[in-house]
Amino acid sequence: MKIRNLIYILAAGAFITSCNDLDVDDSVDFKVSLASDNTYEVGEPVVFNFEGNPDYITWWSGEEGHKYANRERTELPLEEIESVTLSFEAQARYGKVTNTLSLFAGKDFPGLSKDVTTDNMRVENFENDATLLSGNGELLESKFSSRKAASFDLTPYSTSELTLAFHYKADFDGTSALKRWDFYSMSIKTVYKNGNAYTLGLSDLGLATFDRNPNMNSQHPQNGDPYFDNSARTSSCTGVWDLRTSLIRVNSFTFLGGGTNATDYTNNADDWLFTRSLKFNSCDPDENSGVLKNINVRVPSYSYTYTEPGTYTVTFIAGNQNVYGSARTVQEVTFTIRDKE
């Protein structure tokens, strides 16, 4: 009985080995050649002829955004940056206290540690070392009834990582309410010299708050917490940066000014809002140009028309796949597209 079981096991192993040997072949039968009558001019189709019948063919056109060599690239050289622009809309409302808001740009900020003593020192150092992009009274003291657009050129700061910070600072006189600020559609757009662009939206900025003089009133939701950002609540409160998810979802955030009640705001405002450390040479990896064939069809050739002159390296990925494994091959052709004569 033991000998018979051993024979069965060996036979099963031989069958599995045989299937792997027969069904998975690292040398996929596929080749690409250019049609002999190609004209290689803008607006004229380039014909790619295929030999073999793999299960699938995926291709990369070689155009910007569709280069196989850049399929895993997430950063571009800094010298490739043409411009970096911060833009948003803002509206200052309600309160009578003006000249409250500043905007800073700083390098080498380590972020908030969540230790109050450490972070007080870090914020002080940031304020001393950072560049003041817009000081008190300069930034959008807009009318109550309208938004105002603003933009700042960050290109001079694009050679290293950068942290942006809004600073709301105002003295509370016991009678005048602090002004509220609403921000909308904030983004940072990087334009590269090759014409491509990469945009960071509000949700990409990693906003974090630090209040150097928090409201200590136990009846106020902040209750002495310098990192309070109102994000866990469903309603507003006064004298804090408001980063509720419902606001961020529509690409906006707020500094909620305060009234004069004891539970609203009873002390001077010294509130910071930091972005994470930002790198402006980030880019999306290049994507393929599509799937030309699957197992159900046979494709003897493919034609594509280029609209811009230049030299293109076109990449085709062909492969076979089944339950036992997969194999693929990479084929490339390079040619130059000329302006039409």
- Give kind and range of the element (H or E) at residue 134: strand 131-134
Please state, in angstroms and rounded to a whole number, the distance separating the CA atoms of residues 164 and 275. Answer: 5
- Give kind and range of the element (H or E) at residue 11: helix 2-23
187: its two tokens:
């983004």
Please state, in angstroms and rounded to a whole number, the distance separating the CA atoms of residues 215 and 256. Answer: 13
Q: Which of 38, 27, 47, 50 is nearest to 293 (CA)?
A: 50
CB 75 within 8 A of CB 198: no
- Residue-level pLDDT, tens digit, the chain, 341 residues: 433 333 333 333 332 333 333 343 457 889 999 988 777 899 999 999 999 989 999 999 999 889 999 999 888 888 889 999 999 998 887 777 767 889 999 999 999 999 999 999 999 999 999 999 987 555 655 444 578 888 999 999 887 889 999 999 888 776 777 888 899 999 999 998 888 888 999 999 999 999 999 988 888 899 999 999 999 988 888 889 999 988 887 889 999 887 666 555 556 889 999 999 998 887 789 999 999 988 778 899 999 999 999 999 999 999 988 777 788 899 999 999 999 87
Please state, in angstroms and rounded to a whole number, the distance separating the CA atoms of residues 323 and 13. Answer: 16
Residue that has been written with the tokens 């016991």 in this structure = 174
* Radius of gyration of the chain, Cα coordinates, nearest whole angstrom: 30
CB 172 within 8 A of CB 178: yes
- The model carries a pTM of 0.69
